Amino acid sequence: MFIVTGGAGFIGSAFIWHLNQLGVEDIIVVDDLGHSGKWQNLVKRTFIDYLHKSTFLEMLRSKELPWFVEGIVHMGACSSTTETNADYLMDNNYRYTRTLCEWALENGVRFINASSAATYGDGRQGFSDDIETMFALKPLNMYGYSKHLFDLWAHREGVLDQIASLKFFNVFGPNEYHKGDMASVVSKAYEQIRTTGTLELFKSYLPEYPDGGQKRDFVYVKDCVNVMWWLQENPDVNGVFNVGAGEARTWNDLAAAVFDAMGLPRSIEYIEMPEALRGRYQYFTQAAMDKLRAAGYVAEFTSLEDAVCDYVVNYLGAEDSYL
């Protein structure tokens, strides 16, 4: 039995897709569907039951889980970097994660957690997932801080050598459609190009980066779930790990990949960045992947061009866009 929190969300539902591909259907989905459209991520998936996140938490606390649980994959969280309700993020992201982790450890259950590259803040401390770097990090938003707090707690409690906490970088791919403004630029670019023929990108305000030359570590969701399953199968591999392609690419590269996948001529317009973002904007992210590789992960990550092509041709441009 696998429990996937945030199982109707982007990465969570992709992981359930991966489990189903392996013939695994003994799955409990935990989420908060509300009025969003993320329920559609579950339509093609096979699982045993769905529980609201509050119901599941009550069952954990009262020790009423009626199943033998092999693994908890905790992808459930508020992932909005613009969320300003700090108390909500403390409860929903930090304390909820602590409770699940404590239960998993008490019951000998594999626990894989979603941390975030947002913990790295402006990147001045680099992007190493070594423990020494973690203490110097200063996230730029409350979302990143809520994720950072759990990693710090796990280290302080001495349990990081018993769990895997994953710092996902710029993930894109099918099943992100419910995320709205938080959806990847690939998804938003496809719609903008399809509608107008042109893609808008932010101008750069640093001389060392040309317009559209700001860099990100873009990673395909299918590669992310491959890492997650490998960690499930290798429970002796524990700690904080980056999950990225390990290569920074420019927004111009990303735009070119989308235009090429759509078979359209490249047309980019560079626009002013909102004032509120300029002081908090990351110009460069690149996951250090040495630690995961040293732990034994050998699978290759899909190139940006191949991943964008798969996403655009087989999902965004297809009649059925869901995994």
User: What is the set of active-site residues?
Assistant: 143, 179
What are the counts of helices (DSSP H) followed by strands (DSSP E) for the chain?
Answer: 12, 13
**Strand arrangement of the beta sheet that strand 239-243 belongs to:** 49-52, 27-31, 2-5, 71-74, 110-114, 164-168, 239-243
CB within 8 A of 43, min separation 6: which ones?
Answer: 322
Q: What single DSSP character describes residue 108? A: T
Distance separating alpha carbons of residues 296 and 261, to the nearest angstrom? 33
Among 282, 283, 255, which residue's Cα sits nearest to residue 267? 255
Distance separating alpha carbons of residues 97 and 30, to the nearest angstrom? 13
Single-letter code of the amino acid located at 29: V
Beta bridge partners of residue 29, listed in sequence order: 4, 50
Single-letter code of the amino acid located at 195: T
Q: What backbone torsions phi and psi does residue 301 show, to the nearest 5 degrees?
A: -95, 140
Token pair for 153: 């707690």
Distance separating alpha carbons of residues 302 and 34, to the nearest angstrom? 33
Q: What single DSSP character describes residue 312? A: I
Distance separating alpha carbons of residues 296 and 231, to the nearest angstrom? 10
